[in-house]
């Protein structure tokens, strides 16, 4: 039988193709033989060589194919297609004559043309769809565009637009871009993994769609997030696209609007919870290890709080995993804080931190700050936590609430009288740093920001919730309400803002600065576990990329235009930690890890075909 998946073609060795061709030839010969014996042929003298027309509706036929990436197949293969950039020689040797118009383009010219057409779309979602279509048509051009125009296109393929894309994923869905594993696949997950056309997977981003950005439960439509994150793994971090696997685990949704939507693409049932949920995840995690080995990285993304901490705790000692919302976000925020000390003076231990939001991001950041201070000062982490305060939906987290708190909030229950509002907490705690991770927009009100500015020469404000609609305040609000005193950064991007004749450049404290480099460092060192010290190393590497020139403009993050260089630096530092901790398996250890990281990075320039 010569049935195989088209994606298999590039990885099939020559002898295998030969055998398949021989098998096909045998089949064709026998078909021709039976026709010579006087069996039916199609009228008009055109022989039905493949037996397609003789088959009746209820007769089973095999959709067999021999695919070699040439001719029309080559044009339809996004991994190899170059469109008009196929050279004259390639057009001759790959049977492309006539399949393309005569003009021969360069990748640079194609890039210019596409940027022009993307800029012509006014609606961000249309830009997103255009980018996704490009990815499905010509993968290298997609990544070239993204890398060369990262500041402009990141908000298109990532936050904020990816949030809207997830909300409308059902209606813009055309082709699967990742793997869907639902309750229906229970007991068969290993088989499902084998259906994915690529074998050598290095990074998996997985979500169950329950807490997509700050937008809540989007069920199966959360797939946009793993797809977007993995595009950044390639564009910003240098992981080969074929080594990336986006996965959505669909256990249902509690979003009634989706359940009522006839176009909803997921399971139409309420979320499975408890043992059944954890059994499915256990089957998934085992199948991943069985299929891809010990060194495949699994990034947990946008799980709800009640599962995120538990899954991380359960698998961090047996698998190479991290949770981006807990650990990636923590690492990027810590980098911004460390960098901001250059502007503020003093050390982290001199500051008081107040969070609005005590979920994954809030408690994850808080814990990493406490760990960093403890590492630097040798003060036990139980002590360093005491300068960090969290407010959740019920008010300040204090010791009198301890009994009723979820376990991940308990370390933050310090001695204090109960306070119910953020404003009261700001007035009482007098923080120097205010961090929003609540997922609720416009919660840093004018009163709150003014109270913060009243007790700080230069208040540090981080409005981290995504997408833009969920940001705790805008850049403009932060700068105007503090009369230009604030150092501001946010999770989703804001444009520079001019206040009182001075231009302020907000930072984007988004985990996109960290996870591509962190993941790449794990992959190139063959790490088998993620350790907190690697997160601290990633933070320091990022903070070290902020130069005096950036500080002079009030920036606490380096510009994203340099992100490939930043990621290589982060990867090198993370790999170094992996080796130091004895968690790296790629031996011998390269002498220059930065050079090694750079040399391993995927570049999207076209290749020449023989
Ligand atoms: O996706 C982003 O922009 C950052 C993130 O992980 C989240 O908000 O959940
Ligand atoms: Mg996330």
Q: How many A from CA of 35 to the centre of ligand 2?
A: 60
What is the 306 CA–ligand 1 centroid distance (Å)?
A: 17
76 has binding-site annotation: no
What angle in degrees, to the nearest 10, is found between the helix axes of 360-377 and 329-344? Answer: 50
Give the SS3 label for residue 490.
strand
Give burial (CB, 10 Å; 0-12/13-18/19+) of 45: exposed
Instruction: Kindly state if the Cβ of 437 falls inside 6 Å of ligand 1.
Output: no
How far out from the chain centre does Cα 86 lie?
31
Asked if pLDDT for residue 385 goes beyond 90, the answer is yes
> Does residue 107 line the site of ligand 1, with CB under 6 A?
no
Asked whether residue 325 is marked as a ligand-binding residue, the answer is: yes
Q: Report which DSSP code applies to 553.
A: T
Evaluate if residue 39 carries a pLDDT over 50: no
How far, in Å, is the centroid of ligand 1 from the Cα of 511?
Answer: 7
Report the distance separating Cα 330 and Cα 364, nearest Å: 6
Q: State the number of CA atoms in the 13 A half-sphere of 520 facing the CB.
A: 37
Q: What stretches of 184-223 show up as alpha helix (H) in DSSP?
A: 189-195
- How far from each other are the two terminal CA atoms of the chain, in whole angstroms? 29
- Asked if residue 324 belongs to a known ligand binding site, the reply is no
For the Cβ of 159 lying below 6 angstroms from any atom of ligand 1, the answer is: yes
Q: What does the pLDDT read at residue 173?
A: 78
466 is in an annotated binding site: yes
Return the pLDDT at 354. Answer: 98
Report pLDDT for 171: 82
Average pLDDT over every residue of 89-100: 96
How crowded is the C-beta side of 296, counted as CA atoms within 13 Å? 23
Q: 213 C-alpha to center of ligand 1: Å?
A: 5
Complex confidence, ipTM: 0.98
Nearest protein CA to atom 7 of ligand 1, as residue: 213
Identify the burial level of 580 via C-beta atoms within 10 angstroms of its C-beta, where 0-12 means exposed, 13-18 middle and 19 or more buried. middle
Task: Check residues 40 and 157 and name the one with the higher pLDDT.
Answer: 157
Question: Of the ligands numbered here, which is closest to the C-alpha atom of 163?
Answer: 1
Pocket of ligand 1 contains residue 438 by CB under 6 Å: no
CA dist 142 and 102 (Å) reads: 23
Rounded Cα distance between 456 and 141, Å, is: 48
* Contacts of 236 by beta carbon, 8 Å cutoff, 6+ apart: 150, 512, 516, 517, 563, 564, 567
Q: Is 607 known to sit in a ligand binding site?
A: no
List pLDDT tens digits, range 558-574.
999 999 999 999 999 99
510 lines ligand 1 (CB under 6 A): yes
Q: Which ligand is closest to the CA of 436, given by its number?
A: 1
pLDDT at residue 170 in the model:
82
User: What is each CA distance from 136 to 80, 133, 175, in whole angstroms?
Assistant: 11, 5, 9
At 53, the pLDDT band (50, 70, 90 cuts) reads low
Ligand nearest to the CA of 470: 1
3 state SS for 105-151: CCHHHHHHHHHHHHHHCCCHHHHHHHHHHHHHHCHHHHHHHHHHCHH
Helix (H), strand (E) at residue 273: none
Strands 244-250 and 203-207: parallel
**Atom number in ligand 1 closest to CA 228:** 1
Ligand 1 and 325: CB distance under 6 A: yes
Confidence class for position 36, pLDDT limits 50, 70, 90: very low
pLDDT of residue 40: 42
Enumerate long-range contacts of 304-313, CB under 8 Å, 24 or more apart: 304/208, 304/210, 304/211, 304/217, 305/211, 305/359, 305/360, 305/406, 305/408, 306/406, 307/208, 307/210, 307/277, 308/211, 308/360, 309/360, 309/407, 309/408, 311/281
Q: What is the 3-state secondary structure (H, E, C) of 304-370?
A: CHHHHHHHHHHHCCCCCEEEHHHHHHHHHHHHHHHHHHHHHCCCHHHCCEEEECCCHHHHHHHHHHH
Closest atom of ligand 1 relative to the 465 alpha carbon: 8
Mutate to test the pocket of ligand 1, among 232, 466, 509 (most ligand atoms within 8 A of CB): 466
545 ligand 1 Cβ < 6 A: no
Atom of ligand 1 nearest to the CA of 511: 4
Question: What are the phi and psi torsion angles at 576 (to 5°)?
Answer: -55, -45
Say which DSSP state 415 is in.
S
Classify residue 398 by its DSSP letter. B
Ligand 1 atom at minimum distance from 302 CA: 9
> How large is the C-alpha radius of gyration of the chain?
27
Question: Ligand 1 pocket: which of 324, 513, 515, 560 to mutate (most atoms <8 Å of CB)?
Answer: 324
Nearest atom (ligand 1) to Cα of 328? 6
Ligand 1 atom with the smallest distance to the CA of 211 is 9
> Distance from the CA of 551 to the center of ligand 1, in angstroms?
25
Which alpha helices (H) appear in 526-600, and where do they start and end? 532-543, 548-552, 563-580, 593-600
Q: 124 pLDDT exceeds 90?
A: yes
Nearest Cα to 276, choosing from 313, 249, 300, 304?
Answer: 249
Contact present, 494 and 509 (Cβ < 8 Å): no
Average pLDDT of the segment spanning 52-69? 64
The percent of residues in the chain predicted with pLDDT above 70, rounded, is 89
- Give the catalytic positions in this structure: 158, 229
In the predicted structure, residue 553 carries a pLDDT above the cut 90? no
pLDDT at 65: 62
For ligand 1, whether the C-beta of 210 sits within 6 Å is no
**Distance of CA 398 from the midpoint of ligand 2 (Å):** 27
Instruction: Tell whether ligand 1 has an atom less than 6 A from the beta carbon of residue 443.
Output: no
């Amino acid at each position: 039988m010569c049935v195989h998946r088209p994606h298999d073609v590039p990885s099939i060795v020559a002898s295998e193709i030969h055998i398949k061709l021989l098998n096909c030839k045998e089949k064709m010969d026998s078909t021709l033989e039976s026709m010579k014996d006087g069996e039916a042929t199609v009228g008009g003298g055109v022989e039905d060589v493949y037996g397609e027309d003789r088959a009746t509706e209820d007769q089973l036929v095999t959709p067999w194919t021999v695919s070699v990436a040439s001719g029309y197949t080559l044009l339809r293969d996004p991994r190899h297609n170059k469109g008009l950039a196929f050279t004259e020689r390639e057009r001759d040797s790959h049977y492309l004559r006539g399949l393309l118009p005569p003009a021969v383009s360069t990748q640079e010219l194609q890039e210019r043309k596409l940027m022009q057409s993307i800029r012509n779309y006014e609606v961000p979602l249309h830009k997103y769809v255009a980018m996704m279509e490009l990815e499905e048509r010509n993968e290298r051009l997609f990544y070239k565009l993204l890398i060369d125009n990262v500041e402009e296109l990141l908000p298109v393929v990532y936050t904020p637009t990816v949030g809207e894309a997830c909300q409308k994923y059902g209606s813009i869905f055309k082709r699967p871009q990742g793997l869907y594993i639902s309750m229906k696949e229970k007991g068969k997950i290993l088989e499902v993994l084998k259906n994915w056309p690529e074998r050598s997977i290095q990074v998996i981003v997985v979500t169950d769609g329950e807490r997509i950005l700050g937008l809540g439960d989007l069920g199966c439509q959360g797939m946009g997030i793993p797809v977007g994150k993995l595009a950044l793994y390639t564009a910003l971090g240098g992981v080969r696209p074929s080594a990336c696997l986006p996965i959505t685990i669909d256990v249902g949704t509690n979003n009634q609007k989706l359940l009522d939507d006839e176009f909803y693409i997921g399971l139409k049932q309420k979320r499975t919870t408890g043992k059944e949920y954890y059994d499915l995840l256990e089957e998934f995690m085992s199948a991943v290890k069985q299929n891809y080995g010990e060194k495949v990285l699994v990034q947990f993304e946008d799980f709800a709080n009640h599962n995120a901490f538990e899954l991380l705790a359960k698998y961090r000692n047996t698998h190479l995993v991290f949770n981006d919302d807990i650990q990636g976000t923590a690492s990027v925020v810590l980098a911004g804080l460390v960098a901001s000390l250059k502007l503020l003076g003093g050390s982290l231990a001199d500051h008081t931190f107040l969070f609005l939001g005590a979920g994954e991001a809030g408690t994850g950041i808080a814990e990493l700050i406490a760990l960093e201070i403890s590492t630097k000062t040798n003060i036990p982490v139980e002590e360093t936590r005491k300068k960090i305060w969290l407010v959740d939906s019920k008010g300040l987290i204090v010791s009198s609430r301890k009994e009723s708190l979820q376990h991940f909030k308990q370390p933050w229950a310090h001695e204090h009288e109960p306070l119910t509002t953020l404003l009261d907490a700001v007035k009482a705690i007098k923080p120097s740093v205010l961090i929003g991770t609540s997922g609720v927009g416009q919660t840093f009100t004018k009163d709150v920001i003014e109270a913060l500015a009243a007790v700080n020469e230069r208040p540090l404000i981080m409005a981290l919730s995504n997408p833009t609609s969920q940001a705790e305040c805008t850049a403009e609000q932060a700068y105007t309400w503090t009369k230009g005193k604030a150092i501001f950064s946010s999770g989703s991007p804001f444009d520079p803002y001019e206040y009182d004749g001075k231009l302020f450049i907000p930072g984007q404290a988004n985990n996109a600065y960290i996870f591509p480099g962190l993941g790449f460092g794990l992959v190139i060192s063959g790490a088998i576990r993620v350790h907190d010290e690697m997160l601290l190393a990633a933070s320091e590497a990022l903070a070290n990329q902020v130069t005096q020139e950036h500080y002079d403009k009030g920036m606490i993050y380096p510009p994203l235009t340099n992100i490939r260089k930043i990621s290589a630096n982060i990867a090198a530092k993370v790999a170094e930690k992996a080796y130091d901790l004895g968690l790296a398996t790629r031996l011998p250890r390269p002498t220059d890890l930065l050079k090694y990281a750079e040399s391993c990075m995927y570049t999207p320039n076209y290749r020449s075909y023989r």
